Amino acid sequence: MLQIDPTSQQQSSTDIRNWNNSATHPLQSWEWGEFRKAMGIDVVRTKHGQLTFHNVPHTPWVIGYFPKGPKPTSQMLHDLRLLGASKHAIFIQLEPNIAASKNTLTLPELRASHHPLFTKYTFVLDLNKSEEELLKAMHSKTRYNLRIAQKHGVSVTEDNSEKAFAAYLRLNEETTGRQGFFAHNKTYHQTMWRIMKDAGIAHLFTATYKGEILAAWILFAWNKTLYYPYGTSSRQHREVMAPTLLLWEIAKWGKANGYTSFDLWGAMGPEPDPDDPWFGFHRFKQGFNPLLVEHVGSFDLVINPLLYKLYTLADTIRWFLLKRGLKS
């Protein structure tokens, strides 16, 4: 199995360019791997794609993660099994970057993931359409909210300055505290932003009202697609609908800069539960009438069956206690 030497201090610009030319998603980019390494994560690059290995606390074991790679084949899984065994992995989680409409996975080596990290569905806005077509396709309430934001003078700009990023960090802390979900820490965001911004992949957009940043989103630009992985907003002045204008202006920026699609990084599926905590976010995205895209899903390649059973049981209990703690 081809594996790039992870101890190498530098790779040539040709190596990096060739790697990125074959990567179909920003989480498979060379720079994303460098970010993960900077966070102390074990990164392995193979001919099949880029994986990370994460320590199971207080044990000699690790968990492998292979996000947004190609469609698995028997040869790939054979190679990954050997790699996983050499790393003392309990299992490797795969989340292929392939749509379910054109592909199915029936490989007996894989089982449905115990705890998927990516949602199976996402919303994708077609930026090949004209602005008039996109506006016409929106839900009437979304168009109305756009007009409200414009009437109140909300302004949207790309702002990659330190001041704007500091506002993003502040709003991120506010957003996660308000919505009660698990989030990455400040060091994660700072390291990700430094590496991905310097590579020209990450862009920060802000929505400002009367001099105050009300929403700040980090976008990834990769190939011809925009991705929306990180978003924050303020509870102040919610009546001016700043996030609605922010998404619309980013879509226009993408069109103007040659991007053909805008992946909104997640959706709940065709029959969302209105009582789900994520329903409001799903409905916000849905208002722009994007295409609902289903991916093949998340799968575990089990390396150690006994430890896998023990791990999944312990992880189920852990998440139950964490969620219970948030509700209390």
Task: State the pLDDT at residue 296.
Answer: 93
Residue 208 in tokens: 């400002």
Write down the pLDDT at residue 182. Answer: 66
Please give the Cα distance from 204 to 269 (Å, whole number): 28
Q: Where are the domains of the chain?
A: 13-117+296-327, 121-294
pLDDT of residue 2: 45
Q: What is the pLDDT of residue 6?
A: 45
Q: Would you state the pLDDT for residue 4? A: 52
DSSP label at 8? -
Pairing verdict, β 155-158 and 121-126 = unpaired
pLDDT, residue 8, reads 45
Which residues lie closer than 8 Å to 210 by C-beta, 6 or more apart?
153, 237
Q: Give me the CATH code for the 121-294 domain, please.
A: 3.40.630.30
User: Which residues, 6+ apart, have CB-to-CB distance to 273 below 8 Å?
Assistant: 279
Bridge partners, 219 (sequence order): 203
Distance CA 214, CA 236 (A): 7
Running along the chain, 328 residues long, what does each successive block of 10 average in pLDDT? 48 90 97 98 97 96 97 96 98 95 79 93 98 98 98 98 97 77 87 98 98 98 97 95 98 98 96 92 97 95 97 84 61
Same fold, 13-117+296-327 and 121-294: yes
Residue 1 is predicted with a pLDDT of 42
The reported pLDDT for the residue numbered 326 is 52
Alpha carbon distance 234, 207 (integer Å): 10
Structure tokens at 297: 């899903």
CB 234 within 8 A of CB 241: no
CA distance 226 to 264: 8
Choose among 292, 271, 268, 269: nearest CA to 281.
Answer: 268
pLDDT value at residue 206: 98
Buried b (16+ CB within 10 A) or exposed e, 142-161: bbebbebbeeeebebeebee
d(CA 224, CA 180): 33
pTM value?
0.91
pLDDT value for 322: 65
Residue 314 identity: A
Whole-angstrom CA distances from 316 to 83, 208, 274, 311 are: 26, 41, 24, 8
Rg of the chain on CA atoms, in Å: 21
CATH superfamily, region 13-117+296-327: Gcn5-related N-acetyltransferase (GNAT) (3.40.630.30)
> Which residues sit opposite 218 in a β-bridge?
204, 230
* Residue 238 amino acid letter: R
Q: How far apart are CA 262 and CA 48, in angstroms?
A: 26
